Amino acid sequence: MEQPKIIINTSMSEEDYRRFLYISVFKKNKFTLPFLVLISLIGSVLITLSDGIISMMRFIIGWILLFVIAIIVTVFKIERKKAQRIKTDKTGTFHGINTLKFYDDRIVMENKSLKSTGELRYDQFFTVAESKDYFIFYLTAHQASLIRKKDVGNLKEFKEFIVKKFGGRYKRL
């Protein structure tokens, strides 16, 4: 019987999920911050021009204020999504141990508490991203699974393995 190259036991806490949401909004999507800057700029121009008098001070203050409001709204949406996911979680996603077995051609995922097993070939993944604290395996552009770096035994070996298997679909955030 074939032996896995790497075995990782990992879990996801509510805080891990929260951090993942912030990563996906602000780091994975490089257009989020520029978009918020642009929208607040346009809003500030419209507000400044509505009086018929162009005041550079009002323009800059308005721009900053609208940008701060846009960031607050984005953060609020992230926190609300996290709270809703935690509240509606019936599958035991949080704090359950997931065992991931990495073979030459596939990953086998097991969760004993849920009595579930899944298997995916590396070519079935959309992409893999690495952040400061996580490896994020995207099954689709919007569905992902986390591996906490602190749960990985030999981080250097695992990263080399992942980069080799995913090639151009691996990216550092």
Give domain limits for the chain.
6-12+95-172, 17-88
Query: Could you report the per-residue pLDDT of 65-107, keeping only the tens digit for each?
Result: 999 999 999 999 999 988 888 888 766 677 778 889 999 889 9
pLDDT of residue 71: 93
Tell me the mean pLDDT in the region 38-47.
Answer: 88
Q: What is the mean pLDDT of the chain?
A: 86
Query: Could you report the per-residue pLDDT of 22-36, keeping only the tens digit for each?
Result: 988 888 778 888 999
Q: What is the DSSP string of 35-103?
A: HHHHHHHHHHHHHHHTTS---HHHHHHHHHHHHHHHHHHHHHHHHHHHHHHHHH--S-TTT--EEEEE-
pLDDT of residue 51: 67
Work out the angle between the directed axes of helices 56-88 and 32-49 (0-180°, nearest 10): 140
The top-level CATH class assigned to 6-12+95-172 is: mainly beta
